Amino acid sequence: MTAKRPVVGVIGSAHLAEGKFAAQRVGERILRAAADTAGALPLIFAGTPEITDVEALLDTVDGILLTGARANVHPSHFGAEAHPSYEPYDQPRDALAFKVIEAAVTRGVPLFGICRGFQEMNVAYGGSLHPEIRDLPGRLNHRALRLANGEINPDPKVIYAERHTVRLTPGGVFAKLLGAESIRVNSLHGQGILEPGKRIVIEGVAEDGTIEAIRIDGARGFALGVQWHAEYVADPNPVNRSLFEAFGKALLDYRRAR
């Protein structure tokens, strides 16, 4: 009998379809990365506390994937003021993601946070974010590249191209997993970590000082987060593929153990 694939829960984000219908959405690229590279069956769950039972969710899946999203984490979660220029926000997802992170880590359920998911991991443990990391002195513009008319470049090869270097902690989890202490990554974010949370261990920093890779201290299982979009597994850089393959192994190990 062929072994069943591990199941990974992929969080959804609020979306108003056709400007009037409340919906949840997840980009297909991250679903394909979970399926094709991690070897898992992706199962989308709503980023809405009223309709997503966290304990039932974690009884069902073998891991959690926290995706990137258009919305920023609401500043009220780390004692800052909201501002219209940093909208949209998705407060239902905020509330659910924090609960899922803490419960998954407590149970030892594999957890992988990407972009917004990486930021959610930091805030879940008391950390703060800056709404526009490029406004800090000496920082690069980490947002997606745009055309001369101001629109985001539509070419995925341009959008997801390597943009900057990340220095990894020597001997750390990421350095061991990737077999390197310096990697090149893409960059498509405005918000970024300002102060790390109490259980957040920084394992990767960009050349301008922006935090790019973290792990959760004391976690019993895979509990890693990256600021870049690691779901772009077709990138010539093998970093993204290695991360999803490692996550897939953690999912399978967890499934077998339970």
Asked if residue 220 is part of any domain, the answer here is yes
pLDDT in tens, the chain (258 residues): 456 899 999 999 998 888 889 889 999 999 999 999 999 999 999 999 999 999 999 999 999 999 998 889 999 999 888 888 788 999 999 999 999 999 999 999 999 999 999 999 999 999 999 887 777 777 777 776 676 776 776 767 767 778 789 999 999 999 999 999 999 998 887 789 999 999 999 999 999 899 999 999 999 999 999 999 999 987 778 999 999 999 999 999 999 998
Number of domains in the chain: 1
Q: Domain of 136: which CATH number?
A: 3.40.50.880
Residue 89's domain comprises: 7-257
Instruction: Let me know if residue 1 belongs to a domain.
Output: no
Catalytic residue, chosen from 115, 120, 142, 212, is 115
d(CA 228, CA 226): 6
* Residue 211 included in any domain: yes
Instruction: Assess contact for 232 and 115: CB atoms under 8 A.
Output: no
115 is a catalytic site residue:
yes
Q: Is 229 a catalytic residue?
A: yes
| The pLDDT of residue 37 | 95
Please report whether residue 170 resides in a domain. Answer: yes
pTM (2 d.p.): 0.93
Phi-psi map region of 160: left, alpha, beta (phi>0 left; psi -120 to 50 alpha): alpha
Q: Is 231 a catalytic residue?
A: yes
Is position 2 within any domain? no
Long-range interactions of 29-36: CB distance < 8 A, separation 24+: 29/231, 29/232, 30/65, 30/67, 30/68, 30/114, 30/231, 32/231, 32/233, 33/230, 33/231, 33/232, 33/233, 33/240, 33/244, 34/8, 34/10, 34/65, 34/244, 36/233
Q: Which residues is 24 bridged to in the sheet? A: 14
Gap between the Cα atoms of 57 and 169, Å rounded: 33
**pLDDT number for residue 132:** 79
* In-domain check, residue 149: yes
Q: Is residue 234 part of a domain?
A: yes
Contact, 221 vs 248, CB < 8 A? no
In-domain check, residue 50:
yes
pLDDT for res 147: 66
